[in-house]
Structure 1
Amino acid sequence: MRPLTVLATAAALLLAIHASQAQDAQAGAGLAAAFRAEVDRRLEVPDAELANYGRLAESALAQAGVVLQGPQYFVVVDRHPYVQAAFVLLRSAGGEWSGMGAAPVSTGLPGSFDHFETPLGVFAHSLDNPDFRAEGTLNANGIRGYGAKGMRVFDFGWQRVPKGWGDGKVMEMRLQMHATDPDALEQRLGSAQSKGCIRIPATLNTFLDRHAILDADYLQSVREGRQLWVLRPDREPVPEAGRYLVVLETARDDRPPWSPPPFLPHRKAAPLSHE
């Protein structure tokens, strides 16, 4: 190959890379604006913290043996008691991470029967464990465990986790990410409360659902001709839809200033809901 041809090829490749990065940045900016407009319980997390969560997610993905292709979105959850937050992050084709927004969550609170600590790791959101939608009915404690009617329950399948009570024996729990009772339990987001699942704000649930943030496998199935009742008819899917939930725990000695304050009930606490 002639030198000029090599230079021309290299220049074209660089232009393609820059164009791809520009497209990723534009897509991220649009979704970040949508997050601010649509999610009512937000955390203002500094860019340095978001970049660190991207590095931690990258390490977790590599450890799990996940091979990434193209830009895609992730939901990253920090289960540390001082954090209890979810981050919507975009990983570009070149491996750069940027944050779309963050919101408080509740992860598992061990110590009582049938309560687990939310497991760490990388969890695929696939049709192997189909999602469903909340019926909005009250349980025996008068709680809507999955939130209001129609809220999506994101299912990540059975996971082997040490019991949070008794002998601590490893057993299976169903890992789900879902809304919670809007009247009795959403106010507790930002503190560990659940039986092991990840509780999120209703508006974040709708945001993830409407924009198909973790629906890469679902969207591919639709393109192949399958009809999936669980998908919203008014969905506005992002082109960079992903398929992975990453749960990690940062090392901290103090509560960061952007973290939600701990839940302090002003009256007798309502019973915890069944997931």
Structure 2
Amino acid sequence: PAPAPAPAPAPEMELGDTQIQAEIDRLRLLFHKNVLVSFTPTTIQKNDWFTLARQQISHSGYTLQTPQTVVIVDRNPKVQRACVVIIQPDEKNWSIIGCTRISTGTIGRKHHYITPVGIFANTADRLGYRAQGTKNENGIMGNGIKGMRVWDFGWQVAEKGWLASREQGPIRLEMHATDPVFLERQLGHMASAGCIRIPASLNIFIDQNGLLDAEYERKAQTDKRFRALLRPDRTPSILAGTTVIVVDSAAAATKPAPYTASPNLVSTKISSSPIH
């Protein structure tokens, strides 16, 4: 496991409620305009995801001091959804920007891992990359078309989905787009080798608004590698964060875990070859 990253950098000045709400409204408008496979969760789904995410936060070292964006991923085989969420130190005041279909690691196929649950941060300790748009021997662009962003969450430990024993092993956990012709239509079902597959429209939305790039923006001020990776046409959100939280609502339904509220929410112990 990697060491816990620092909390997402705070803005230069404290944000007021009006500024926060205005940015939430802006991001919601952009999401529903541009993310083509969005859907509206039920109140029960929303509450379940928030409760599970808070449990992950409570059990980790991640400390939230300012409002910021996270992506909550539900790996439940019957759900396979992700939501962009603004979380705040006030645990009751979380806001969904939008939700969409995704794919996580599948079972029964050799060398396919079950995407691990936990909190995973896009820290400046690792430099992500962009898809080259190259095809494999089957004509598949595993990371999507050229230019799609790949967020690298480092080495993690995951269960081997092809073994009944669920023996664990290391994978390089990433979040990325997928082949727009052959694989994007499969989103909403378990399909990946362990990484988190997202639609290209969500990839662009997160990338253009720098929603997981709070540390990268800070690093880009002194490191040209990070400047080169970030989009030149981006509009970094004042609510940018660093974090993806993977939960499993199926496991929670069969084995409920207690939730203890914490006065400080979100830095984390990162518990992942690239797996697609």
The aligned length equals 237
- Alpha-carbon deviation of 1:51? 4.0
Whether 2:121 is the aligned partner of 1:124: answer yes
Quick one: which amino acid aligns to residue 63 of structure 1?
A: H
Quick one: which amino acid aligns to residue 178 of structure 2?
A: T
Equivalent residue, structure 1, for 2:211: 213
Q: 1:143/1:241 Cα in 2 relative to 1: closer, same or farther (>3 Å)? A: same
Whether 2:51 is the aligned partner of 1:55: answer yes
Q: Secondary structure at the match of 1:207?
A: helix
- Alpha-carbon deviation of 1:162? 2.2
Equivalent residue, structure 1, for 2:6: none
| Higher Cα Rg, which structure | 1
Q: Distance in 1 between matches of 2:56 and 2:67?
A: 17
Q: Distance in 1 between matches of 2:186 and 2:45?
A: 23
- Alpha-carbon deviation of 1:154? 0.7
Whether 2:69 is the aligned partner of 1:73: answer yes
CA contact (8 A) 1:75 1:246 kept: yes
TM-score (norm 1): 0.81
- Alpha-carbon deviation of 1:230? 1.1
TM-score (norm 2): 0.81
Equivalent residue, structure 1, for 2:22: 26
From 160, 166, 175, give the equivalent of 2:173: 175
Whether 2:38 is the aligned partner of 1:39: answer no
- Alpha-carbon deviation of 1:69? 1.1
From 151, 155, 161, give the equivalent of 2:152: 155
Alignment of 1:90-101 (within 5 A): 90-95=86-91, 96-101=93-98
Quick one: which amino acid aligns to residue 141 of structure 1?
A: N
Quick one: which amino acid aligns to residue 240 of structure 1?
A: L
- Alpha-carbon deviation of 1:93? 4.2
Equivalent residue, structure 2, for 1:263: none
CA contact (8 A) 2:49 2:247 kept: no
Deviation per CA, 1:98-141: give whole Å up to 9, x if none. 10000100100021111001000111111222110111011011
Equivalent residue, structure 1, for 2:10: none
Runs of 4+ in 1 over 4 A off after TM superposition: none
- Alpha-carbon deviation of 1:47? 4.7
CA contact (8 A) 1:212 1:238 kept: yes
Q: Distance in 1 between matches of 2:171 and 2:17?
A: 40
Quick one: which amino acid aligns to residue 168 of structure 1?
A: R
From 142, 146, 158, give the equivalent of 1:145: 142
Structure scoring higher RCO (CA < 8 A, sep ≥ 6) equals 2
Structure 2 stretches lacking a partner, 5+ long: 1-13, 254-274
CA contact (8 A) 2:67 2:89 kept: yes
Equivalent residue, structure 2, for 1:226: 223
Structure 1 stretches lacking a partner, 5+ long: 1-16, 254-273
